[in-house]
Each structure stands twice: as C-alpha cells, then as structure tokens.
Amino acid sequence: MFKSFPKGGIHPPENKMTAGNPIEVLPVPSAVTIPLAQHIGAPAVAIVAKGDEVKTGQLIATAKGFVSANIHSPVSGKVVKIDTTIDTTGYKQPAVFIEVSGDEWVDTIDRSQVIEKEIKLDREAIINKCMECGIVGLGGATFPTHVKMGIPAGKKCDLLIINGVECEPYLTSDHRLMLENGEEILTGVSIIMKALGVEKAIVGIEANKPDAIKSLSDLTSGFKGISIQPLKVKYPQGGEKQLIKACCNREVPSGKLPLDVNVVVQNVGTAYAVYEAVQKNKPLFERVVTVTGKHLPKPGNMKVRIGTPVSALIEAAGGMPDDTGKIVNGGPMMGKALADLDVPVTKGTSGIILFPSEESKRSEVTPCIRCGKCVTACAMGLEPWYLSAASEREMFDKTEAAKITDCMECGSCSFVCPANRPLLDYIRLGKSTVMRMIRERNTK
C-alpha cells in the first residue's frame, strides 16, 4: 500500500505526455533577460554594468541580505542594458539584458561528465557553496537553499524529505531528472544531509513513476541513510505539509513550518543543483523545463539556460499551435498564465503548458448547490465554500477565524466545484487581506 496524506485530495487527469522524452539541451539563445528577483526574498543587486563582457557562470548580481540569492550569467556575451522587464509573474522587475556571443564558461566550473560522489566539503563550506552558487528551491517556491540549510538556534532537524512527487499534471521535468541523473541527485541528497547534520532522508515519489522509483531504489544501496518512499497518486501529494505527513506521519501544526516537526523538505531538482554546485562548482544558471500541451507538435523536457525567452522553448517544441488559448508557467493547478511570450525562463520555471482554446476558458458560474465537494477535496481540512463566500462579502475577520491562512492555494476546491465557482480567487483575496491585517497588527 502506498502512503498518502489523510484528508482531501483530488485526481486530475495526469496528462504526462512527456514522461518518456529524454531531457534535450536547448541551444543557447541569441539574447537573454535575467530578472534580478527570481527567488523569494529581496531581489539581487546587479554588479555588472552596460558594456561589460561576461562569461557563462559568472556572478552578475549579488544577494541583498540573508534571504536572497546570487544570480549568475547563464551565457557568455555582453551586457547591453540594465533595465526593467516583465517577468513570468506579470510584474515589472529589474533585469540584466545580455547579448550572447559563443558559450565560454568560467574556468572554475568542472565540466567533466564524471560523477563525483565523495563529499569533501564540511557543513559550513557546503552552505557557503550553495549561497555562492545561487541555489534556490526548484520546486516552484524558489526559497534560497542556504537559508533552509542553516538550522536556527533552538530548532533541530532529524529528517530530510526530498520531494520527487511532481503531483502537478503535465509536468515531467523532475521525473526525467530522477531517471537520468539519479546518482547525482542522491549525492546531492547526501550533501544536504551533511549540511543539516541528519542521518536519514526519505525521497517521496508518486506511484505513477514506477521507473523512477525503481532506478532510485536500486541506487540507494550506494548511499547511507536514504530510502525511497512510493506515494499514492493524489493531488496535492507534493504539498510540503502533505508530503511530510505521508512520509513520516508528522503533522506540521497550523501556521508552523516543517522545521517545527524537525523536518526539512527539498525538491529533487534542488538536490541536483546542490550536487552541481558543491561537487562541480557550477552555479545555478540552467534548469530542466517541461514544454508540453495536447496540441503541441513536439512536446518535451528541455535543459534551458535561465533568461531564455519562453517563445524560444515553444519554438523548439514545434511552434505554437493555432488553437492555443492559454499558456501557463508551471503546472496547471498552481501555475501562472502568461500574457507575454517574451518573458524569460527563471529559476522557478518547471514547465510551460499550452492549452487549446476550448480548455482555456472557464465555464459559466452557477449558484452554489452546497454539495460539499470542496470540503471533501480540501487537503487542509478547510471549508472553501465558506472562506470564499465570506471573502466575497469582505467578512475578513470571519475568514481569519476559519484559518484562511492555512490555505496553500492548491486549487483543488475550484477544480471540483460543479457550479464552477471561482472559490480560490476569492480565497486568495481573503488570504492576502488577512495576512496584511496580521502584519499591520504586529507592527502596531
């Protein structure tokens, strides 16, 4: 029996068409745009100026403050301007624009294909290396990894959980990475274990990836303390709290963090990036992106330099089909719709999905029939109908009492609603308002 989380969950169609497509390397584009806010926390500060020549892997912006991340040039060429750009979130961000010439890497990066399994660095050095190389969580939240590795005083950690769930439909980038770079990932896991000082790590993988479960399980004999945990296919299995509950039966209390139950969670892609940083001295400037869609001629998994415009990925996948009605950055449940295809791939881009027009519009909203399907679907045990209705009526104190801040915005409630009600839209409004209210109360 596969493990899972106890409450709620849904079964959207998987549509993982690209699960069998090996990762292809996308050619370096002719120009890149590097937003300086690709992570949670303060945007990085550019240290290059217009006209500077940069090499692939060279530091171009430094972290501002502790919760922030360095940014490196993904290409070699010339800085043409430092300006603002619209990024995948739709907001304007400061960015470095680079015109590409050749692909000359900084010589500190070990570009050999040899898998380096022996971990030479100590705990401090590992954390420093991750900070230097600008490693952030690649599961989508892009939280700086070095911050997560440093356990604050008074907290302890005895378990590392690696998220290889990839519960979002369509996406297969983590799946392919686990199949093709299993040893590097497990070495990365060992490195994170060393940094955290834990003896045990569990890699949680949904049962719809039996090949990845098998190949990683076969590899674990070479690594101490790492086990593979197959998980039931159920969205949102990859939600941090759900994953922890499923893997080790610890329940993160409302409003608390995984560390409060002595756990740290990292994504498999992050483990791979940590391996590259620590063992190969390679900063984070490329990542695997699933480019997919039902009508896309050549969907696939591509290794892409950060800063590459989304349009180049779609071009490589055979071009945008005529009936495309929506393009989503990320998964279909939590991703963001793009308004502009010139936006660059960032550290957090796990997939680009093209939806045909008939799937891109919402159906007509009808009255709530109080069927309770949203309550059954909510993995946090909340009452989406109530939170949504109260937010719609601006009764924010009521939504706060009903723990609207526990909502992780997984979208299960909107997905199941037979009346097509925009439950999550209103819950987001309520949640952000309540969080503002809480901040204002705390600063008084």
* Contact positions with other proteins (CB under 8 A) in 373-402: 373, 375-376, 378-383, 385
Task: Considering the complex, state which of residue 183 and residue 383 has its C-beta at the smaller distance from other proteins.
Answer: 383
Distance CA 264, CA 174 (A): 19
Binding residue count for other proteins, defined by CB under 8 A: 75
> Considering the rule CB under 8 A, would residue 358 count as an interface residue with other proteins?
no
Tokens of 211: 């090949």
| Residue 119 beta carbon to other proteins: minimum distance, rounded to whole angstroms | 30
Binding positions for other proteins, 153-212, rule CB under 8 A: 169
Residue span binding other proteins (CB under 8 A) among the ranges 117-125, 279-287, 350-358, 435-443: 350-358
Cα(309)–Cα(388) distance, integer angstroms: 36
**Residue 302 CB, nearest approach to other proteins (Å):** 19
Q: How far is the CB of 47 from other proteins (least distance, A)?
A: 34
Q: How far is the CB of 324 from other proteins (least distance, A)?
A: 5
Provide the strand spans (E) within 74-167: 77-86, 92-100, 159-164
Residues 401-420 that bind other proteins (CB under 8 A): 403, 406, 409, 411-412, 414-420
Cα dist. 62→42, 48, 66, 111 in Å? 11, 10, 11, 24
**Binders of other proteins in range 218-257 (CB under 8 A):** 241, 245, 250-256
**CB of 410 vs other proteins, minimal distance in Å:** 8
Nearest CB to other proteins, comparing residues 128 and 360 = 360
Beta carbon nearer to other proteins, 33 or 58:
33
CB closer to other proteins, 115 vs 435: 435
Q: Which residues pair with 406 in a beta bridge?
A: none
Report whether 18 contacts 290 (CB < 8 A): yes
Q: Which is nearer to other proteins, 83 or 251 (CB)?
A: 251
Binding to other proteins (CB under 8 A): which residues in 92-151? none
Distances in Å between the Cα of 389 and the Cα atoms of 96, 149, 414, 420 are 43, 40, 13, 14
Other beta carbons within 10 angstroms of residue 369's beta carbon come to 11
CA angle 134, 136, 140 (to 5 degrees): 145
Instruction: Please give the residues from 297 up to 326 whose contact with other proteins meets the rule CB under 8 A.
Output: 311, 320, 322, 324-326
Kindly tell me which residue out of 25, 141, 371, 437 binds other proteins, with binding defined by CB under 8 A: 371
Take residue 122 and report the two structure tokens written for it: 């100590």
Cβ 65 to other proteins shortest distance, Å: 29
Transcribe 16-75 into DSSP letters. -GGGGS-EEEPPPPSEEEEES--SSSSPPEE---TT-EE-BT-EEEE--SSS---EE-SS
